[in-house]
């Protein structure tokens, strides 16, 4: 199932069977294969890090597609904020050219919201600042 990760960073590794695909943010109809060399891993930015970076880092929508008969094995390490800590963009990431995109929140509250709704756009709905989210939507249309 295609999704963005809700945590801060996911580190993925796999055997020699490929299958990870990402969706460019400019094109919701295209999937791009990610070739992970044997013995390497990939780091994926999650929604919590996107919020903390005030949108400067993007959480990528991704999925796994299996083709052929060979088994694919993968492992993941999921980094998340310390329990009870607040996710909020530092002052250095907010200025007149980069207005705040998200209100501060605790990761536990965000995760609870996501689990209760399973909304793909959980970050924008839960913590997005309405005027900014509307402006981003308008920019994407133009």
| 68-107 tens-digit pLDDT | 888 988 999 999 999 999 999 999 999 999 999 999 999 9
pTM of the predicted protein model: 0.86
User: Which is nearest to 44 in space by CA: 4, 82, 81?
Assistant: 4
H or E segment and range at residue 52: helix 47-52
Q: What angle do CA 135, 138, 142 make, to 5 degrees?
A: 140
* Domains of the chain with bracketed CATH: 9-141 (2.60.120.330)
b/e burial code for range 122-139 (CB count within 10 A of at least 16 → b):
bbbebbbeeebbeeeeee
């Amino acid at each position: 199932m295609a999704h963005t990760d809700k945590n801060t960073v996911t580190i993925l590794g796999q055997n020699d069977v490929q299958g990870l695909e990402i969706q460019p943010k400019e094109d919701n109809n295209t999937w791009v294969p990610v070739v992970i060399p044997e013995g390497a891993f990939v780091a994926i930015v999650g929604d919590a890090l996107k919020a903390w970076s005030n949108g400067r880092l993007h959480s990528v929508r991704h999925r796994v597609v299996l083709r052929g008969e060979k088994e694919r094995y993968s492992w993941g390490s999921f980094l998340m904020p310390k329990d009870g800590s607040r996710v909020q963009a530092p002052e250095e990431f907010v200025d007149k050219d980069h207005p705040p995109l998200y209100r501060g929140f605790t990761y536990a509250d965000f995760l609870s919201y996501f689990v209760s709704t399973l909304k793909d756009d959980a970050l924008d709905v839960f913590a997005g600042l309405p005027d900014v989210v509307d402006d981003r939507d308008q920019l994407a249309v133009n």
